[in-house]
Amino acid sequence: MCGRFAITLPDEAVARLFAATPSNDLPPVPRYNVCPTQDVAAVTSAGAARRLRPMRWGFLPHWYKCPTDGPLLINARAESIAKKPAFRDAASARRCLIPASGFFEWTKDAEGKRLPWYIHPAESDALAFAGIWQDWEAEGVRLTTCAIVTTAASTALSAIHHRMPVVVAPDDWPLWLGEAGHGAARLMRPAP
């Protein structure tokens, strides 16, 4: 988890929701099957100025010589993010929020057929995944990349999958983005 998600809100609505200035080159919406290596919209903050900007979903550590130089890092485990060399610096200094309408998980039926589950908020059109980001450059190619932070699944989701994205509540967005000081690590837990 998380390997696919959807975003159906228009860019203007997402920008208003997060009080962010949108870039002109955001990926098109609605998107019902966002896949790894595609561009996603992410919210970053520099001081109190938030931006909604595109990033490639698939974190590239600075030592990768090309985008396919190592494993595709679409997720970062909350339990080890601060210790992993690929993620450590981004976890402390480059956190983002990745807007989504919901995400997908799959189970298998008795015959082994994959069954999709769409997990989304019951009372809202949007949620925010905790993310980390990194600028990567090699041989004249520059990409801004990101990964979704995951944690153990909540009790409600554990029957479907053992992991889930860290969902950051609106009141905690400033803390995750670094606008409200230190303490973002305490947000890396399953949603209730």
DSSP string, 2-24: -S-EEE-S-HHHHHHHHTEEEPT
**Active-site residue, 66 included:** no
8 Å CB contact between 146 and 136: no
The single-letter DSSP state of residue 73 is B
The owner of tokens 């696919």 is 4
For residue 88, how many other CB atoms are within 10 A of its CB?
A: 14
Kindly name the residue from 2, 12, 79, 111 that is annotated as catalytic: 2
Q: Which residues pair with 39 in a beta bridge?
A: 56
Nearest C-alpha neighbor of 51 from the set 177, 189, 163: 177
Kindly name the residue from 66, 96, 105, 179 that is annotated as catalytic: 105
Question: Which tokens go with 150?
Answer: 């995951």
For residue 161, how many other CB atoms are within 10 A of its CB?
A: 19
The residues, ordered by sequence, that sit 6+ positions from 80 with a Cβ below 8 Å of its Cβ are: none
**Active-site residue, 2 included:** yes
Tabulate helix, strand, coil % of the chain (nearest 5). 15, 40, 45
- Catalytic residue list: 2, 105
